Amino acid sequence: MTALALGIGLMIGQASESAAILQMETHTNDANALTVESSVYKSTAPALPGSVSLLAPTPFEAQVNAWIASLAAQDDFRDWQGATWTRYPLGAGMHGYLVLLRKNGNEIGYLVAGEAEDGSLKLIEYGSGPSPLFSMKTLYRSLVQSELIPSDSAETSDTATPPVPVQRLYYSPLHAVWKVPSGSEWIYIDAVTGEQLPLTSPSFEPLRAFDSAQAVPGNLPRLLRSLVQPSFDPFDNTYWITDKPLHADSAEQLSAVLESADNPVMFKANLYGRQVLAPFAVTGLHHWEGSEPYIRLEQEGLRFIPFEVLKEYGTFHQQRESRTS
């Protein structure tokens, strides 16, 4: 997905994390660990004969493992079973954490956990694919393209230290960037696509840290409904640039359209005071009991984002039979 810059560019915020980026923890989940909601740490000490080398998980670790267990039961996330995960803070004042999953040396997905005022955790968003949110490999490719590091620099894993003191900034699922020093200035790199965005500090002044009241708190409840539709490229037909939006003021209305749709539905994000246009293919949803549906978007893989976030920052569109590109 490529953003259309209308005088500026796509995605995000302001914070400080250059030191905090080194604060990361890696955990291993095997099938048993997932079901019992416990973390299995890689230990350098040999286990005693007949002993089980399990450390008691912290509440955060137990919650992440529970989310992974629930999602790994879904078709889009089957490969999460047996994955390791690493936690990163998402900048000062963001009250959130990125969880990156890896398996067989490859990045395979992510979670974003938000911390509520009472200290409980909420699942803000989640996704799967080889280029997850804040992928270190994507960052490296962008730094090479921007000539900020040599082209022969080796790509690093997500647990390695970046070659420059970058910051992860996250205001919402639609406002996430790497903040990277370039001489005496800063550049901003989209946290999913790796695209360099024409943003400046004033671009972020209207933004506030995202607080989703509808995000799933605690363990994921029963999945009431899961819908998957075929992939498509929103740029194959750009009717959505000028077309009127769908009437989808509620998650129920959008769900009804998706379930009966013969034509693809896409989401057009208007960001930074309508200065940036970003299209996403809408290819399904997850509806967990007691929460708003998470809408299935395609952007370098799959992303599941609460409906309320999308409603706040954009509109949904559906191609009509008579319309051509």
Max CA separation in the chain (angstroms): 72
**Cα(140)–Cα(160) distance, rounded to whole angstroms?**
11
Instruction: Give residue 225's pLDDT.
Output: 92
Encode 161-183: b = buried (16+ Cβ within 10 Å), e = exposed: ebeeebbbbbbbbbbbbbbbeee
**Cα(116)–Cα(123) distance, rounded to whole angstroms?**
11
Instruction: Give residue 67's pLDDT.
Output: 95
Under DSSP, the state recorded for 10 is S
Under DSSP, the state recorded for 232 is -
**Cα(262)–Cα(35) distance, rounded to whole angstroms?**
39
**Cα(251)–Cα(304) distance, rounded to whole angstroms?**
14
219 belongs to a structural domain: yes
Listed in sequence order, the residues at least 6 apart from 199 whose beta carbon sits closer than 8 Å to its beta carbon are 8, 9, 11, 12, 177, 188, 272
Give 107's strand partners. 102
User: pLDDT by residue (tens digit) across 56-71?
Assistant: 889 999 999 999 999 9
Cα 183 to Cα 18, 89, 180, 195: the distances in Å are 16, 25, 10, 19
CA angle 68, 127, 256 (to 5 degrees): 105
Instruction: Give residue 325's pLDDT.
Output: 46
83 belongs to a structural domain: no
Q: Which domain holds residue 282?
A: 213-318
221 belongs to a structural domain: yes
157 belongs to a structural domain: no
283 belongs to a structural domain: yes
Tokens of 33: 């660990």
Give 298's strand partners. 281, 302
Give 277's strand partners. 4, 270
How many domains is the chain built from? 1
Phi, psi (rounded to 5 degrees) for 148: -90, -20
297 belongs to a structural domain: yes
Residue 144 parent element (H or E): helix 136-145
267 belongs to a structural domain: yes
Instruction: Give residue 94's pLDDT.
Output: 73
**Cα(294)–Cα(290) distance, rounded to whole angstroms?**
12
**Cα(135)–Cα(120) distance, rounded to whole angstroms?**
26
Listed in sequence order, the residues at least 6 apart from 216 whose beta carbon sits closer than 8 Å to its beta carbon are 122, 123, 288, 290, 291
User: pLDDT by residue (tens digit) across 229-270?
Assistant: 999 999 999 999 989 999 999 999 999 999 887 789 999 998
Residue 12 half-sphere exposure, CB side, CA atoms within 13 Å? 27
194 belongs to a structural domain: no
Instruction: Give residue 303's pLDDT.
Output: 98
Residues of the chain with pLDDT under 70: 1-54, 92-93, 154-161, 212-214, 273, 275, 321-325
Listed in sequence order, the residues at least 6 apart from 98 whose beta carbon sits closer than 8 Å to its beta carbon are 87, 88, 89, 90, 110, 111, 112, 133, 134, 168, 170
Listed in sequence order, the residues at least 6 apart from 66 whose beta carbon sits closer than 8 Å to its beta carbon are 37, 219, 220
Instruction: Give residue 38's pLDDT.
Output: 27
